[in-house]
């Protein structure tokens, strides 16, 4: 199981300061969608340059022009790029093809997918690297989470790694670990804590104990 730190509400210098605090306790650093919107792929480039030993995920949530956008994110230094599970099969296949060419990985974000089991099977067959259940900010605000969805994809995904994101905190992490995803994605559960290093260290320890 790996731990990914999601950075959503920071600018580039703040992102670098934050990663410095927790880098020894995380495996992947995510440049979140709001950061890419505010700062562009410069944020991916700057974080990869500052932390060459960490994997960097560009959370582009691609919907179209997938091959081109994966190429641009790869050029900026992303190791993993996200595409939406709701996008066309052709887009997902294009993303996978370009990622393979560039030696990068594709994570499919299943946010807002209605037939989760059915779509997970389909995208799994397209050769994607990760399939991620995700409760976004807007549904977190009305008390939703993705714990049951994680069990759903775990039962149907045969090839890709499984991941979960959305509002995971120290007190809910044990419920996630029980289902054994390959990747746990945490934003506010670390970045919103007064002692970010301690929160990341504790999460890493819980994940390693599995």
Ligand X SMILES: O=C([C@H](O)CO)[C@H](O)[C@H](O)COP(=O)(O)O
Tell me the CA distances in angstroms from 121 to 9, 61, 155, 156, one per residue in order.
33, 19, 10, 6
Buried b (16+ CB within 10 A) or exposed e, 183-210: bbbbbbbbbeeeebeebbbbbbebbeee
Q: How remote is the C-alpha of 184 from its chain's centroid?
A: 8
The minimum distance between CB 90 and ligand X, in angstroms, equals: 24
**Neighbouring-strand partners of residue 84:** 109
Q: Is 8 in the site for ligand X (CB under 6 A)?
A: yes
The minimum distance between CB 48 and ligand X, in angstroms, equals: 18
Nearer residue to ligand X within complex by CB, 138 or 159? 138
Q: Is 166 in the site for ligand X (CB under 6 A)?
A: yes
Q: Which positions from 103 to 142 touch ligand X by CB under 6 A, shown as an x/- string?
A: ---------------------------------xx-----
User: If we measure between CA atoms, which residue out of 108, 134, 111 comes closest to residue 121?
Assistant: 108
- Of the listed pieces 67-75, 116-124, 146-154, 181-189, which binds ligand X according to CB under 6 A? 181-189
Nearer residue to ligand X within complex by CB, 74 or 146? 146
- Chain residues binding ligand X by CB under 6 A are 6, 8, 30, 32-34, 59, 136-137, 165-168, 185-189
């Amino acid at each position: 199981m790996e731990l990914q730190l999601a950075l959503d509400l920071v600018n580039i210098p703040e992102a670098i300061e934050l990663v410095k605090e927790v880098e020894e306790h995380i495996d992947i650093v995510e440049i979140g969608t709001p950061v890419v919107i505010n700062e562009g792929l410069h944020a991916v480039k700057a974080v990869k340059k500052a932390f060459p030993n960490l994997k960097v995920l560009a959370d582009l949530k691609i919907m179209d022009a997938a091959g081109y956008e994966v190429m641009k994110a790869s050029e900026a230094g992303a190791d993993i790029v996200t595409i939406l599970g709701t996008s066309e099969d052709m887009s997902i296949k294009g993303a996978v093809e370009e990622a393979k060419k560039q030696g990068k990985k594709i994570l499919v974000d299943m946010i807002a997918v209605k037939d989760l089991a059915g779509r997970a099977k389909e995208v799994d067959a397209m050769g994607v690297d990760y399939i991620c259940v995700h409760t976004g900010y807007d549904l977190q605000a009305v008390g939703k989470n993705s714990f049951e969805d994680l069990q759903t994809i775990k039962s149907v995904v045969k090839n890709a790694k499984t991941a979960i994101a959305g509002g995971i905190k120290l007190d809910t992490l044990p419920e996630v670990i029980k289902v054994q995803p390959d990747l746990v994605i945490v934003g506010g559960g670390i970045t919103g804590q007064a002692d970010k290093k301690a929160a990341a260290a504790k999460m890493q320890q819980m994940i390693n104990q599995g």
